[in-house]
Structure 1
Amino acid sequence: MSIKLGYQIPSFTYPGVPVTALFDTVIAQAREAEASGFDTVLVMDHFYQLPGINTPDNPMLEAYTTLGALATATSTVQLSTLVTGNTYRNPPLLAKTVTTLDVISKGRALLGIGAGWFEQEHDDYGFEFGTFTDRFERLEEALTIITPMLKGEEPTVDGKWYKVRGAMNNPRLRPTIPIMLGGSGEQKTFRLAARFADHMNIICPRAELGHKVAVLKQRCEEIGRDPATLPTTWHATVVMAETEAEAGTLVATLPEGRRALAVAGTPEQVVETLRRDALGQGVDGITLNMIPNGHVPGAVSMAGTALKELFA
């Protein structure tokens, strides 16, 4: 299972929507995505809203509770984080969590995972942040525990960061669960993806995407892996509206740093941009969010209906 067209929900700030109706709005987006051609629904694994989207005190739902509930509200879309923060997830417990999600969803879970990066969350919640090198060492060691557990093996690891002894993981529904890494680091993230991942979600400016795809292929070849066995997506913020003027108004609501990265315009314009600047650069699919208007009824349906033509 891989992703061709994924819809990420990174924001739970919905003007005029009370907290009592917040999750109804999340469900509505997931159902629109499922009905209109998206194959995957994703949420962030954060405790605070990210600086590039809004202020930290804005609403943020816990990822796996949210995905478990969405499993009962949907029937065909894959469900994943984009991506789980390894630094605040004990590896065998994470394997258990995503396997439980797989059972609940009848085989629709993906494990998206990364090294973790938002320091304020770690400091405020009491999780060790460590150095950049520390976080990637921990991720690598975690994957040596999680990967066999997802296959029903019972690893024993006495590592620098984690210790497990014959860790069991039952019940399971499938022989294994696909693992997706997210990021753009050519030296660490891409090397781990080549070793462990079934999917790589690349997050980078459009102008860098072709280079990133080429480097990821090189990392696969360095360890004798066929690059074709590691499908890729590119992550985009999409601002789609019926008119170019309306799209421009919505773009203006984004934080300044994100405006320049957004793919904006009418459905036809967005499709053409993604065809040229994403699929044309060698990725296999797209994950996207619609921060300004994804919560507005019909917006996700408009995007799914237009974008699925890229994969017809």
Structure 2
Amino acid sequence: MTISLGYQIPNFSYPGGVEALFDTVVAQARDAEASGFDTVLVMDHFYQLPGLGTPDQPMLEAYSTLAALAASTSSIQLSALVTGNTYRNPTLLAKTVSTLDVISHGRAILGLGAGWFEMEHEQLGFDFDTFTERFEKLDEALQIIHPMLRDERPEFTGRWYRAHGAMNVPRYRESVPIMLGGQGERKTFRLAARYADHMNIICALPDLPRKIEVLRQRCEEIDRDPATLKTSYLTSVGLVETPAEADELLAGVPEDRRAGVFVGTADVIADRIANEVLGAGLDGVIVNAPRNGHVPGVVSTLGAALAPLVG
């Protein structure tokens, strides 16, 4: 498994309303598959996120969507970026992602994070807990999920979770890859070094070189070869043809997030990603296009420009 070029779908507010909604998602996934992306990812949220829209805007449940996309595509990998650990019992999550792997014939990736969107937790009845407790939960969950995805039957009793000889059958592959997402140098990176196959770094662009170096240090602290932990960066892109279109698109982006959005023609976006993201020492990049990714031709154009960077 490797994520060299991923396409994330974070937005489901499309022309045509709910009747056209999933068809528009499928069209993006198929265009991504055909144009050189190796992975399609969706967010694991129940409400739309601040900065992308209002909470009452459409948001599909992640694993139902991924299962349907597995039946609508043939080769592209499928993942959540990232699953909120607080939303599911770890044994259920292991079973869910293993089922996705069977349905997709070995194309599932478990993307996982500690969870952070407090409004969802409060309104939907999930325990939010403290920052420290959420990471305690993530650590415990990984101690159950990691072996369950590798044909082992974990015996574990922790503060938050327990499993007693938990079975996970059927499985399509010997193991399903695990990707953690985040930027925490003390907690997330240590868990990634211990359990993950891939680390998706989500941070301000100027911080990226330091984050990569700290992640390497976390691997070395436990005698893991840093090269065995693959890395990628999540960024938003805005495909436009003119400066006026760029200004119009950026006007809808909160000011504190504009530095992390690559806006321009496909060639401009590709040059910036090559220099500022891949040039920092990462193995791959995951892009989303929340403002116009649903427009026919946008995903294909991005794939044609970006795929040669990682090919």
TM-score clears 0.5: yes
Q: Deviations over 1:83-125 (max 9, x none)?
A: 0000111100000000000000000000000000001101111
How many angstroms apart in 2 are the aligned matches of 1:107 and 1:258?
35
Q: Secondary structure at the match of 2:3?
A: coil
Preserved contact between residue 85 and residue 114 of structure 1 (Cα < 8 Å): yes
1:185 matched to which residue of 2? 184
How many angstroms apart in 2 are the aligned matches of 1:124 and 1:66?
22
1:159 Cα offset (Å): 1.0
How many angstroms apart in 1 are the aligned matches of 2:256 and 2:54?
14
Worse-matched range after superposition: 245-254 or 302-311: 245-254
How many angstroms apart in 2 are the aligned matches of 1:262 and 1:98?
30
2:283 matched to which residue of 1? 284
Give 1:153-168 correspondences, 5 Å limit: 153-168=152-167
Query: Identity over aligned residues, as a percent?
Result: 64
Q: Secondary structure at the match of 1:239?
A: strand
Letter of the 1:233 partner, please give it.
S
Q: Is residue 2:16 matched to residue 1:17?
A: yes
2:39 matched to which residue of 1? 40
How many angstroms apart in 1 are the aligned matches of 2:249 and 2:31?
20
Q: Structure 1: which 5+ residue stretches go unaligned?
A: none
1:263 matched to which residue of 2? 262
1:5 matched to which residue of 2? 5
1:156 Cα offset (Å): 1.5
Q: How many residues align?
A: 311
Give 1:45-194 correspondences, 5 Å limit: 45-194=44-193
Worse-matched range after superposition: 190-199 or 256-265: 256-265
Q: What is the Cα-based RMSD across aligned positions, in Å?
A: 1.0
Q: Structure 2: which 5+ residue stretches go unaligned?
A: none
Q: Deviations over 1:247-305 (max 9, x none)?
A: 33222223333323201111111111111110111111000100110000000001000
Q: Secondary structure at the match of 1:164?
A: strand
Q: Secondary structure at the match of 1:8?
A: strand
Q: Deviations over 1:154-184 (max 9, x none)?
A: 1121111111111100000100000000000
Preserved contact between residue 244 and residue 266 of structure 1 (Cα < 8 Å): no
1:273 matched to which residue of 2? 272
How many angstroms apart in 2 are the aligned matches of 1:35 and 1:242?
23
How many angstroms apart in 2 are the aligned matches of 1:169 and 1:278?
37
Letter of the 2:6 partner, please give it.
G
1:239 matched to which residue of 2? 238
How many angstroms apart in 1 are the aligned matches of 2:247 and 2:103?
40
Q: Secondary structure at the match of 1:26?
A: helix
1:206 matched to which residue of 2? 205
How many angstroms apart in 2 are the aligned matches of 1:108 and 1:182?
19
TM-score norm. by structure 1 comes to 0.98
TM-score norm. by structure 2 comes to 0.98
Preserved contact between residue 251 and residue 292 of structure 1 (Cα < 8 Å): no
